[in-house]
Amino acid sequence: MVVEPKYIYPRLPTQFSTDTWLSWPWFGTSFPIFSNIAFNYSTLHFINNMALSEQCIFHGTSYVTGTASATLLAADLELSFWGGVNPKTGEVIDRFHPLSGRILKDTILAIPGGRGSCGGSVVMMELILNGLGPKALIFELAVVTLNPEDFRRVLGWDGRTIHVQDDLVSDGPLSVNITHNAVKPAVDLNKCNVQLTDSDRAMLDGAHSEAAKISLKIIIRMADMMGARELMDVRQAHTDGAWYGPGSVAFGKRLRDWGGKFKVPTTINSLNIDQKRWRALGVNAEFGSSCDELAKAFVDMGGKISFTCAPYLLDKAPKLGDPVAWGESNAVIYANSVLGARTLKNPNMLEALIALTGRAPKAGAYLDENRFASIWLKVTPPETTDDSFWPILGYALGAIASARIPVITGLEHLKPNSDNFKAFSAAFATSSSAPMFHMVNLTPEAPTLEAVCCNGIAPKTIDVDWKDLDAIWDEFNHGSEPRDIDLIAFGNPHFSLREIKEVAKLCHGRSKKEDVAVIVTCGRAQYSLAVQAGYVGELERFGIQFLQDTCWCSIEEPVIPKNTRTIMTNSGKYIHYGPGLTGKQFAFGNLKMCINAACTGKTSGDPPSWLVESRSK
């Protein structure tokens, strides 16, 4: 029986040095698990064999040889490891996920795939270093849909002991002879099918640096996994590897110490700290210093001191058709979709390796044929909208699209601005694993529906209306009820000058409630513009605090006041990740609702007017 394709990843070693991690052939294969860039490139088959005493055995393709027997932890919903799993405990902390509260250590995890953040590779590395990772991972690919029956049967084994032997998965012990005890490389670089240039070979021979040599080996392995036949040049990179963790610090410092220098212009994502103010904010000295060390490693390799999760707001943002290597999920979606640039949904660290070599696998969203829409989402929008419409819509459509690139119609008359696209992209990236979306007559590659459809043939259609958005509102707010608010969190992704201006307008002539904190995170460039325009001074007098360099996905106590119980945000990304990351209660609203809560200390829980009007019809 041919069934829906799957990946199997047997157990990783729990202890190894940074040298081993960087040179270990399997290093790159953690990336497709958690950023889904491999989902579009491989078709695997499982065979249902019921001849062996009714024992069910599935056969697939293993990228790491090994064995494991453990309790199955299964769910039929994708999981973002970053923001969804605590690397210090192994607990699933995504409070929107059915596995919330479960522990990954020494289990075999079966889920359809990854989604959301590009940082899953970093979290997986930290789990491994902490000895908290699962013994094996089983994924379902949704690209080629055949017979899903067998994968559903695997999900039904949740809580039972299952067995993995290389490319076999069974509900009973496997009698396959074990001829190896160590992890073996799945791809021999000398036998791979990736064509190399003379400069590639020179780099592999050490012509540049040890860092470039090791990086290119990993990129070639990744390219071979993805079915790429050659590598390609990129014009710039945005590294998302400066998120703190002991493994991340060791990774960045080792690449630098190996002589690594970025070969293309490279910006750096937001950090875990405000570099200029972390001491004054009471951040733990050891933690703050380690974050500084990590940032310095990337700067020493030539990274620009940008420290923003919204690199598309920078002056050097890529143009239509530019091949780049970006990390940070919201930025990847924005670059591919809104700017029309081309990047893989790079997992943390891979984009840094590409930056060190200037070379990337010629596959995925770099290629025309992989940018076509595979689902058509026909949206019937409300008659009126506000800024809350875009994150709610992005989250809803991302969940529907899953790993598929959608073409979206029905929004042409709304004329979203760059901030609307930013909010949409961040929410879409949170609930989806697709690398991009198209909006007909709004995004550069979609002047018409036919332009983004393979051979001009429209794909399967799904209708989306206010009821779908109403369900997301209720999910974000856990129903609609009044609540006391302690903290307003703005800037996930980083606020733009326009958004800061809008907040200043909403705060003008009003007074903030003394015991409500309001914090805005933004990049240095946008902050400087806001200072020059006078908005920062005005908002600081109102009582708003500005943080640079860091973002809400990385902020903890004491920057979040210790007495905080409920946080309110306008971000479709932070409303998803925030509860698990902080342990706090959350509420969602538009900018006006958030400022009202800052002034009163309460939110009514009532939905926005555009949703109220839709409900009344």
- As a whole number of angstroms, the distance between CA 562 and CA 558 comes to 6
Rounded to the nearest angstrom, the gap between the alpha carbon of residue 372 and the centroid of all alpha carbons in its chain is: 21
Closest to 215 in 3D by CA, of 258, 246, 250, 179? 258
Contacts 24+ apart (CB under 8 A), 283-292: 283/558, 283/559, 287/244, 290/244, 290/246, 290/249, 291/244
Which tokens in the block code for residue 271? Answer: 């950090």
Decide: residue 201, CB within 10 A, 0-12 exposed, 13-18 middle, 19+ buried: exposed
**CA distance linking residue 175 with residue 508, whole number of Å:** 73
Identify which of 245, 295, 239 has the alpha carbon closest to the alpha carbon of residue 128.
245
Find all residues with CB under 8 Å of 541, minimum gap 6, and list them: none
- The residues near 12 (Cβ < 8 Å, ≥ 6 apart) are 26, 64, 128, 133, 183
Cβ atoms of 288 and 251 within 8 Å: the answer is: no
Question: How crowded is residue 481: how many other Cβ atoms within 10 Å of its Cβ?
Answer: 11
CA distances for 567 relative to 126, 521, 575, angstroms: 28, 15, 9
Q: What is the spatial distance between Cα 221 and Cα 338, in angstroms, rounded to a whole number? A: 30
- Given 30, 35, 80, 117, the catalytic residue: 117
At residue 518, the 3 state secondary structure works out as: strand
Structure tokens at 92: 């699933």
Do the Cβ atoms of 425 and 455 come closer than 8 Å? no
Please say if 30 is a catalytic residue: no
* The pairing of beta strand 168-170 with beta strand 57-59: antiparallel
Strand partners, 170: 57, 163
Contacts 24+ apart (CB under 8 A), 314-323: 314/267, 314/523, 314/525, 315/525, 316/236, 316/265, 316/267, 318/235, 318/236, 320/444, 322/235, 322/236, 323/232, 323/233, 323/234, 323/235, 323/360, 323/366
The contacts of residue 535 (CB under 8 Å, 6+ apart) are 497, 500, 501, 503, 504
Q: What is the DSSP string of 229-285?
A: SBEEE-S-EEE-TTS--HHHHHHHHHHHHTT---SS-EEE--BSS-TTTTTTTT--H
Please report how many Cα atoms fall inside a 13 Å half-sphere around the Cα of residue 289, on the Cβ side: 3
CA distance readout (Å), 111 to 43, 239, 593? 17, 28, 37
The beta strand positions in 81-125, using DSSP E, are 107-111
Residues 6+ apart with CB under 8 A from 117: 34, 80, 81, 82, 83, 84, 329, 429, 430, 553, 577
- The residues pairing with 9 across neighbouring beta strands, listed in sequence order, are 137
Active-site positions read: 117
